[in-house]
Structure 1
């Protein structure tokens, strides 16, 4: 491990008893079957100078009408992952999966994971069996997570409806669904209403940064809201830059010009690619490109640091809001 160690906030775990479910889902989505094991993950992390990988299970937990099954699967996955973290707390962290759209189950699992298992945050899919994250019924969950200053990884999933033939859903539909749920949250006012939430949008926010000014026209759906108000909601998200590379990464760089973070491409163990923020460890703090890193995790937790901006779309700790989409 060199001094430029990285923290990977987007690394997926597959418990042994979920291998078949993941394989079936991959086949349905037209995507290669992923694989994961601890030793393979550690070897990859050593090769790529990753200090800590924050593990998450980014797949549906059960059928839409199987509430109890989803609750049980969430508990099993989170306890399996917590054991991995317990064995190697220096190398792994955990974003606990929540069984949405079951709000009561999600609240119970969040409390168990954060209080009993020591999870670093939670993971929710971009839609829960077709219900997007700005849904008013999810409000109690956001209120509870905001009270905890929780980190929330919003991982994309397939949107409702059929795939375009010949175009695997993870390739095309996932970035679309990331933008869709982010806009749904913003129109509902969730980021602004719960400012202590730290929501991470994977894969550079999908289509969000490139169409944000178009999306700002949705302000008309909230009486008394101006387009700039909606952009302010969108600026509250954090990004990881997984699967972004080449010219696309270069085009995003100006949008991150005040983020004080440096995206670096990284290969994940099951064949996906992720990009983490490259951070230098120094005295327990993580300065990034000359700025002081602020921890994403709540007080008392131990990892998931990012720079003091929110996804590079605004930098409240270092200056006025950036206008990245002009």
Structure 2
């Protein structure tokens, strides 16, 4: 559920916008379809659901973001067509440009046949519970869409990351921050048909769910009839990208169970050798994660 791709045009556009060391990483990874398929074959992976990682496709200019988003989405859709059964695709959206995002949802899901959409935990500092994004959630809820939420650098990261790569710590906290915003703004309850997928075992969520519930009663407008935070979070899906063992999987499943756990590699941002090692470490989870993926995407079962 969590492999990425890059194209030369995408990397060129990102660098032109100043992303030479994206999210504080040393540089951009290399990627090509042949190497990706070889890694999948070596690891016994049937289907990889491609997406663009952070920093996404919106670098500050709405028109440029629309064009770049359309380009990467069409590129991925072409890969899906040329390699039947091997790839799926979460279409990028050019948020925070809501109007363009709505147009891209229709094009991606109706024309390209994308399996869902990919958004980041925040879009230029706007978190997913912001009311400006409500039209996007209305449309995705109507379509019962899968929304893959990838972490990105938080606003003000210069002050908190201490010069270190943001994927190390900030990504897992921004995932938790984004989920908390969806909870406390009521988005999860207002749009129950969206299937949300979060990465890296939910980041810090397994440790914070009870704390969020504790504080919920202190917030203005508290409604005691609203389901407890842990119950709301059990409806989310979580992938195992990152360091799933020895602590991530036990914490995740203790908090939210195992029936919505999915496999995620984070390739190509995670190098092939590290991906192979991580995959081997969770080999006993293959049946569980595969069965879960087939429930989320019934079309995948037909290929396996």
Alignment TM class, shorter chain as reference: 0.7 to 0.9
- Mapped to 1, the partners of 2:238 and 2:81 lie a distance apart of 27
The normalised TM-score by structure 2 is 0.84
| Aligned: 1:220 with 2:228 | no
Match of residue 210, structure 1, among 191, 207, 212: 207
The normalised TM-score by structure 1 is 0.79
| Aligned: 1:15 with 2:7 | yes
1:187–1:219 contact (8 Å) kept in structure 2 = no
1:70-109 to structure 2, matched below 5 A, reads: 70-109=65-104
Q: Return 5+ residue gaps in structure 1 as ranges.
A: 1-8, 306-326
Q: Quote the residue 2:58 is aligned against.
A: 62
Residues 215-257 of structure 1: per-residue CA shift (max 9 Å, x gap): 2213433524248533332222110011023322353265168
Which stretch has the larger CA shift, 135-144 or 211-220?
211-220
Taking structure 1 as reference, are residues 210 and 111 closer, same or farther at Cα in structure 2, changes over 3 Å only? Answer: same
Q: Quote the residue 2:192 is aligned against.
A: 195
Q: Quote the residue 1:27 is aligned against.
A: 21
- Mapped to 1, the partners of 2:47 and 2:13 lie a distance apart of 27
1:1-326 to structure 2, matched below 5 A, reads: 9-21=1-13, 25=19, 27-32=21-26, 33-58=28-53, 59-64=55-60, 66-161=61-156, 162=158, 163-216=160-213, 217-221=215-219, 223-226=221-224, 229-252=228-251, 254-255=253-254, 258-260=257-259, 266=265, 268-271=267-270, 273=275, 278-279=286-287, 287=291, 295-297=295-297, 302-303=299-300
Structure with the larger strand share: 1
1:120–1:304 contact (8 Å) kept in structure 2 = no
- Mapped to 1, the partners of 2:174 and 2:256 lie a distance apart of 26
Structure with the larger helix share: 2
1:183–1:234 contact (8 Å) kept in structure 2 = no
- Mapped to 2, the partners of 1:29 and 1:203 lie a distance apart of 17
- Mapped to 2, the partners of 1:264 and 1:61 lie a distance apart of 24
